C-alpha cells in the first residue's frame, strides 16, 4: 500500500495509474506548455493536476483508500499481521525453492496465518510455525480470507 510518488497520477474516472510522461495530448494544441490538464492514457479523460499544496493537505487529513483490499490476489508481504490467507500461487523462479515450501504443506489451496513481518516473516501453516525471508514472502501470492470467515476455520 505504498503511496504513489507525486509524479504518478491516478485517473479519477477509471482509477488507472500512470506517469506524466505517458500522457499524450493532440498535436498542435494551442494551450502548449501552459496547459495544466492531464489526460488519462486509458480512458482519455482530461483532468487538472492537483496542486502540490492541496496534495499535502489531502494526504495529511484523508487516508489513502487501500485499494489493495479489493484486489483478489496479494503478495504475502501485503497481508497484515494476524490476517489469514489462502495460497494462490508461488512465483518462485527456482523450482527447488518452490518445492522447499511445498514440503511444509505450502501449496495452492492451503491456508496460512501471518504471525509477524519483522525482522523476518513468520507464518503458520497448520501447526507448523515457519520463518521465511522477506524475499521469499514476496513470491508467495495469497487470497485474503476475511476475519469473520477465518474465525470459523
Q: Which positions from 112 to 141 touch other proteins by CB under 8 A, shown as an x/- string?
A: ---xx-xxx-x---xxxxxxxx-xx-----
Output 72 or 133, the one with its CB closest to other proteins.
Answer: 133
For residues 145 and 85, is the Cβ–Cβ distance under 8 A?
yes
Minimum gap (Å) between residue 108 Cβ and other proteins = 7
Minimum gap (Å) between residue 146 Cβ and other proteins = 18
Task: Rule CB under 8 A: say whether 96 interacts with other proteins.
Answer: yes
**C-alpha span between 85 and 137 (Å, rounded):** 13
Output 40 or 132, the one with its CB closest to other proteins.
Answer: 132
Judged by CB under 8 A, the residue of 38, 74, 76, 101 near other proteins is 101
Task: Rule CB under 8 A: say whether 40 interacts with other proteins.
Answer: no
Judged by CB under 8 A, the residue of 54, 108, 146, 149 near other proteins is 108
Minimum gap (Å) between residue 89 Cβ and other proteins = 11
DSSP structure string for the chain: -PPPPTTEEE-TTT--EEEGGG--PPTT-TTGGG--EEE-TTT--EEEPPPHHHHHHHHHHSPPP-GGGGSSEEEGGGSPTT-EEEEEEE--SSHHHHHHHHTTT-STT-EEEEEE-SSSEEEEETTEEEEE-HHHHTTEEEEEE-HHHHHT-
Output 38 or 121, the one with its CB closest to other proteins.
Answer: 121
The contact set with other proteins (CB under 8 A) reads 95-105, 107-108, 110, 115-116, 118-120, 122, 126-133, 135-136
Amino acid at each position: 500500500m505504498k503511496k504513489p510518488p507525486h509524479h504518478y497520477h491516478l485517473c479519477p474516472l477509471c482509477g488507472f495509474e500512470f506517469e506524466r510522461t505517458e500522457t499524450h495530448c493532440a498535436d498542435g494544441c494551442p494551450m502548449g506548455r501552459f496547459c495544466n490538464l492531464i489526460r488519462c492514457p486509458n480512458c482519455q479523460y482530461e483532468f487538472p493536476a492537483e496542486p502540490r499544496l492541496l496534495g499535502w493537505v489531502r494526504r495529511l487529513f484523508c487516508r489513502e483508500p487501500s485499494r489493495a483490499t479489493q484486489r483478489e490476489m496479494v503478495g504475502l508481504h501485503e497481508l497484515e499481521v494476524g490476517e489469514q490467507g489462502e495460497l494462490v500461487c508461488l512465483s518462485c523462479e527456482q523450482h527447488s525453492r518452490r518445492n522447499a515450501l511445498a514440503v511444509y504443506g505450502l501449496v495452492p489451496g492451503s491456508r496460512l496465518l501471518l504471525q509477524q513481518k519483522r525482522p523476518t516473516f513468520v507464518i503458520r501453516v497448520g501447526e507448523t510455525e515457519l520463518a521465511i525471508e522477506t524475499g521469499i514472502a514476496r513470491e508467495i501470492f495469497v487470497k485474503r480470507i476475511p476475519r469473520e470467515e477465518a474465525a470459523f476455520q
